[in-house]
Homo-oligomer: A and B are copies of this chain.
Amino acid sequence: MQNRVTKLLGIKYPIIQGGMVYIGKPPLSTAVSEAGGLGTIAAGGLTLEQFAQEIDRAKELTKNPFGANIPLVIENVPEYIRIAIEKQVPVVILSAGKPDKYIPALKGNGIKVMQVVPNVSMARKVEMAGVDAVIAEGFEGGGHMGHDELTTMVLIPQVVDAVKIPVIAAGGIADTRGFVAAMALGAEGVQLGTAFAASLESPAHENFKNAIYQADDKATVVTGRSMGMLVRDIKNDFTAQVLELERKGASREELLEFIGTGRAPRALLDGDMTGGSAMSGQIAGMIAGPKSVKEIIDGMVGGAEGILDKLQMLRKI
């Protein structure tokens, strides 16, 4: 299975682990790289020192390529970029901002650069800026998202038509059906968040993982629309309170004060599934229990053959 994405990143399968704060790091990220995908370390939630340490840990735990996710909205972005360059992280994945000023240094040092995009115009802009591939993320994905609310089904073919670089699909993908569907839409790879967050190797709290296993199709909700800061979480007291404040017309300041800081680690690391922000994609309803990263990736790749056999009936007769 060789295509532009596997060749660009030097990986076996075009499967990437999404940049999840507090969760995207070894041993999860290294398990993904060891299983033939691209594991990634999320800079968000890590101090500069922790970020450097996790990169060192990743290098000890796998000889395979891995990446670092750096959202362009966190503090000290240039410092995270500098560390990624110094430590020769093979791939840097940017998001939520203009990548232009970082690309020459990254690419000049042999680092592959990808960027997460929510729409066609941003895909075009980052291609012009020189990124090697885009990760187009649909509305069904978990955690923070753009406010365009474009779903994976409509976003992928439109981005594929708009750019020449490879497009990786993110949002709503957790099994071999989603993998093959994304590739049919024209993607050359997929990125998974929730499925890996719920895996055996994920450092997330058991309460969070259990909430994913128990989730049905309607378990998640988007908050923050009224202030243009959309986040998809598993529904709980916290999301209900935010939505009630929004319904009442609370100002951005009131909302930010109520939300405060530390809601994500409260759910993801401390297991507070009542008051924490339990970021998850809509696909949670399809994740029924714990699996290892290798089981997830092998199932995704290995199942493609059976789907293709079924799809043969679509060939013109």
A216-B120 contact given A184-B311, A282-B151, A311-B180, CB 8 Å threshold: yes
B184 touching A217, Cβ below 8 Å:
no
Question: Could you say which of B152, B282, B308 contacts A150, with CB atoms under 8 Å apart?
Answer: B282
A151 touching B151, Cβ below 8 Å:
yes
The residue of chain B having its C-beta at the shortest distance from the C-beta of A140 within the complex is: B151
A181 touching B153, Cβ below 8 Å:
yes
A120 touching B305, Cβ below 8 Å:
no
Among A63-71, A108-116, A169-177, the stretch in contact with B: A169-177
The residue of chain B having its C-beta at the shortest distance from the C-beta of A149 within the complex is: B222
The CA of A152 and the CA of B281, in the complex, are separated in Å by 13
Taken residue by residue from 145 to 160, chain A's Cβ proximity to chain B (1 for < 8 Å, 0 otherwise) reads as 0001111111101100
Residues in chain B near residue A305, CB distance under 8 A:
314-316
Residues in chain B near residue A302, CB distance under 8 A:
316
> A-side binding surface: helix, strand, loop or mixed?
helix
A275 CB, min distance to chain B CBs, angstroms: 24
Residues in chain B near residue A249, CB distance under 8 A:
247-249
The CA of A173 and the CA of B217, in the complex, are separated in Å by 21
B154 touching A172, Cβ below 8 Å:
yes
Q: Is A76 an interface residue (CB 8 A)?
A: no
Interface centre among A2, A217, A311, A315 (most CB of B within 10 A): A217
Taken residue by residue from 200 to 227, chain A's Cβ proximity to chain B (1 for < 8 Å, 0 otherwise) reads as 0000000000000000111000100110
B226 touching A247, Cβ below 8 Å:
yes
Q: Is A185 an interface residue (CB 8 A)?
A: yes
The CA of A316 and the CA of B302, in the complex, are separated in Å by 6
A31 CB, min distance to chain B CBs, angstroms: 21
Q: Is A29 an interface residue (CB 8 A)?
A: no
Q: In the complex, how many residues of chain A place their beta carbon closer than 8 angstroms to a beta carbon of chain B? A: 62
A153 touching B172, Cβ below 8 Å:
yes
Q: Is A183 an interface residue (CB 8 A)?
A: yes
The CA of A152 and the CA of B316, in the complex, are separated in Å by 25
The CA of A195 and the CA of B196, in the complex, are separated in Å by 36
Residues in chain B near residue A148, CB distance under 8 A:
217-218
A286-B161 contact given A185-B178, A217-B150, CB 8 Å threshold: yes
Tell me the A279-310 residues at the B interface (CB within 8 Å).
281-283, 285-286, 301-302, 304-305, 307-308, 310
Q: Is A47 an interface residue (CB 8 A)?
A: no
Residues in chain B near residue A281, CB distance under 8 A:
154
What are 23 A-to-B residue pairs whose CB atoms are below 8 Å?
A1-B317, A3-B313, A120-B216, A121-B216, A138-B151, A140-B150, A148-B218, A151-B151, A151-B152, A151-B171, A154-B286, A157-B177, A157-B178, A157-B286, A180-B311, A181-B181, A181-B182, A181-B185, A184-B184, A301-B314, A304-B314, A305-B316, A308-B311
- Given contacts A119-B218, A157-B175, A248-B249, 8 further A-B pairs with CB under 8 A are A1-B316, A120-B285, A140-B154, A151-B282, A155-B217, A184-B311, A304-B311, A305-B316
